[in-house]
Amino acid sequence: MKQKKPWWKQPGIQIAAVLVVLIVIGGIVGGIFLTQTPPEQPIAFPHDRHVGMGASCLYCHPGATLGPSAGLPGIEKCWGCHQQVQKQSPELTILAGFVERNEAIPWVPVAIQPEFVHFKHSPHLNAGLECSTCHGDLTKMTVAEPQKGQNMGWCLQCHKNTAPEQWTKLSDCATCHY
């Protein structure tokens, strides 16, 4: 009688195991790739140049002090300056196109939270945080880049370090998850 192979030597199981490993690895690699590379933007906006010239972040993202969302500038905001200054560049031609068609610029948000996290900008700015604490040094980026390792542990670490006296409130699940 042919001896029965142990279960881990059966080809079906082995194939399945290899597939699972491949899928998991693929998922991880894909996930890391997608979360850690800047998405393609309709206009390759040069943050470095604007910030370098001394433009305030809040000029284009004024919602940060007011409420949850910092907001992305619309054509009005961009064109407010650029119909006066520096009209010659390929990116500005794209902008001019949006303005001409009166279309919204389909910016792709970079720093976003999953839907079960209710992040709000205003309390953080009111607490005196700098934009660069979470968004990185924008003087060194053209398009905005996602920052590495921004998970819940990172949030809590910062909460613990910056305001240990408010730890009860800042570690409360209800502060971000509802």
Partner 1 sequence: MAEVSIAEKWGLVVDQDRCTGCNACVVACSMENNVPFTGEDNVAFGRGTYWIYNKRMWEGEYPRVAPAFQPVMCQQCGSAPCEPVCPTFAAVHSEEEQINLQVYIRCIGTRYCANNCPYHARQFNFQDPDIPEPMNSYLNPDVTVRSKGVMEKCTFCVQRIVGGRQTASAEDRPLRDGEVTPACVAACPSGALVFGDLSDPNSRVSQMAQNERQYKLMDELGTKPKVTYLKGGGRNGG
Partner 2 sequence: MSDKITRRDFLKIAGAGAAVSAVLTGCGPMSRYIVRRPYTEMPEYNQTGLNTYYASTCRECAAGCGIIVRTKEGRAITIEGNPQHPLNRGRLCARGITAQQGLYNPDRVIGPIFQARGAAGRQAKTTWDETIPLVSDALKSPADQVAFLMGTAPDHLYDLVNELTTAIGAPAPLRYSALASFEGRTTLQEAANRTFGKPALPYFDLANAEVVFSFGANFLETWLSPVSYSAAYGDMRQARPTRRGYLVAFEPRQSLTGGNADEWIPIKPGSEGLVALALARLVAEARGEAPSAAARSVDPTAVAEAAGIEPAKLAELARLFASSEHSLAIPGGGAIGQHQGLAIAQAILQLNVVVNNLGMIGGVFLTTSEQPATTLTEVSNLVQKMNNSQVKVLFIHGTNPVFELPKVLGFAEALAKVPLVISFATFPDETAMFSDYILPDHSPLESFGYQRLLAAADRPVYSSIQPVVAPLYDTRATADVLLAAAAAAGKPLPYTDEVDFVQQKIVPLISAGGFYSAPEIQTFWSRWLQYGGWWVTEQGLDADISAASGSIAAFNDPAALEEDKQFYLVVYPTQLGDGAGANRPWLQEMPDPMTTLTWNTWVEINPETADKLGIHDDDVVRVTTPFGAVEASVYRYPAIRPDTIAIPFGQGHTALGRWAEGRGANPAALLPAAVNEAGDLAFSDVTASIALTGKRRPLARVENRGGVYGEH
155 three-class SS: helix
- The total number of residues shown for the chain amounts to 178
Which of partner 2, partner 1, none is residue 35 near (CB under 5 to 8 Å by kind)? partner 2
Those residues whose C-beta lies under 8 Å from the C-beta of residue 41, and which sit 6 or more positions away, are: 107, 108, 143
Among 6, 54, 76, 84, binds partner 2 (CB under 8 A): 76
How many residues of this chain interact with partner 2, rule: CB under 8 A?
Answer: 46
Among 102, 153, 164, 168, binds partner 2 (CB under 8 A): 102
Cα–Cα distance, 39 to 22 (Å, whole number): 25
Report helix angle 90-101 to 75-82, nearest 10: 120
Q: Is the CB of 49 or the CB of 169 nearer to partner 1?
A: 169
* Site of interaction with partner 1 (CB under 8 A): 114-116, 118, 120, 122-123, 126, 168-169, 172-175, 177-178
* Smallest distance, partner 1 to C-beta of residue 105, A: 22
Among 54, 90, 114, 128, binds partner 2 (CB under 8 A): 114
Read off the tokens for 12.
């079906």
